[in-house]
Amino acid sequence: MIEANAVGFYFIRLELFRGIFFGWPLGQVTGKIGAMKHAILIFSLLTLLGCGKGGEDPDASVMNLFDAAKPADQKILAQLRIAVRKPVGDLTRGDLDKVKVLKVRESEIADLSLFVELRNLEELDLHKNKITDLKPLVKLPNLKKLRVSFNQISDLSPLPEMKALRELKIYNNQVSDLKPLSEMPDLKMVWLMNNNISDVKPLYGLKGLAEVHLNGNKGLNKPKIHELYIALPKCKVVHDIKR
């Protein structure tokens, strides 16, 4: 930033000299100098901020993200090391950006904020943890496949913000309201077994849905499943309804 300012002030002095030498009107000179000051300020701010993500150092350590006192953090770290094939040494920003597929099962994870750092993640498997809130995952723009089975999730409202999501495995949770899924026309597969679902009408508009699993939802019955078949004739509906 200091270097940018030094260069800028050099050009301001040069512009002032040219104005005096060529006899420009004072208003013209001050106008040019004002515009240059404005440009220098913007350039300095961009330099200070690193011009966004592109200014980040891919070799910078990210070990400060992982709390040594939290077993869940250490289990996530262990799986990241496996994903990037780096068993020892500091993980870097560049390492995290390489991760596209990650599996962290049975690790007592409740807080998903660490996963926000995996900006290029496409597939995430968090089977059998202690997750209740999916909101942090909306910051993963490339997430296509999500498995959060055997958790404590009831709220699906963050899901429509995950525009790339195509496959969702959220069985054995506490889901009852499927309305958020109605806003996800690009979903291809949904596993909803063993939840508290009694209304499948929100799925009627998902014409691209190829497969939905509904076993173990006691609030469903044959008429409701029949209506789903009519609404989605090309979809494979898996269920265990006998009445």
35-78: per-residue pLDDT in tens? Answer: 555 555 554 544 444 444 556 899 999 999 999 999 999 999 99
**CA–CA gap between residue 137 and residue 79 (Å, rounded):** 18
According to the model, what pLDDT value does residue 87 have? Answer: 97
According to the model, what pLDDT value does residue 1 have? Answer: 42
More confident residue, 47 or 222: 222
Contact 160, 135 (CB under 8 A): no
- What is the DSSP code string of 28-97? HHHHHHHHHHHHHHHHHHHHHHTTGGGGS-TTSB-GGGS-TT-HHHHHHHHHHHHHHT--SS--BHHHHH
According to the model, what pLDDT value does residue 56 have? Answer: 81
Contact 12, 33 (CB under 8 A): yes
Is the model's pTM score more than 0.85?
no
- Helices 2-22, 26-49: axis angle to 10 degrees equals 170
Q: Which residues contact 139 (CB under 8 A, 6 or more apart)?
A: 116
Contact 214, 234 (CB under 8 A): no
151: helix, coil or strand? coil
**CA–CA gap between residue 129 and residue 150 (Å, rounded):** 7
According to the model, what pLDDT value does residue 47 have? Answer: 47
Phi, psi at residue 201, to the nearest 5°? -55, -35
**CA–CA gap between residue 162 and residue 189 (Å, rounded):** 15
In the predicted model, is pLDDT for residue 230 greater than 50?
yes
Nearest to residue 196, comparing CAs of 175, 172, 167, 169?
175
Mean pLDDT value across residues 121-136: 98
- pLDDT tens, residue by residue, 133-158: 999 999 999 999 999 999 999 999 99
**CA–CA gap between residue 16 and residue 24 (Å, rounded):** 10
Q: Which residues contact 33 (CB under 8 A, 6 or more apart)?
A: 12, 15, 16
In the predicted model, is pLDDT for residue 124 greater than 90?
yes
Tokens of 204: 């009627």
Q: Which residues contact 113 (CB under 8 A, 6 or more apart)?
A: 136
According to the model, what pLDDT value does residue 165 have? Answer: 98
Hunting for tokens 């939290």 — which residue is that?
70
Contact 225, 204 (CB under 8 A): no
According to the model, what pLDDT value does residue 35 have? Answer: 56
Task: Report the mean per-residue pLDDT for the chain.
Answer: 87
Contact 33, 16 (CB under 8 A): yes
More confident residue, 177 or 24: 177
* % of the chain at pLDDT higher than 90: 76
Angle CA 66–52–144, to nearest 5? 65
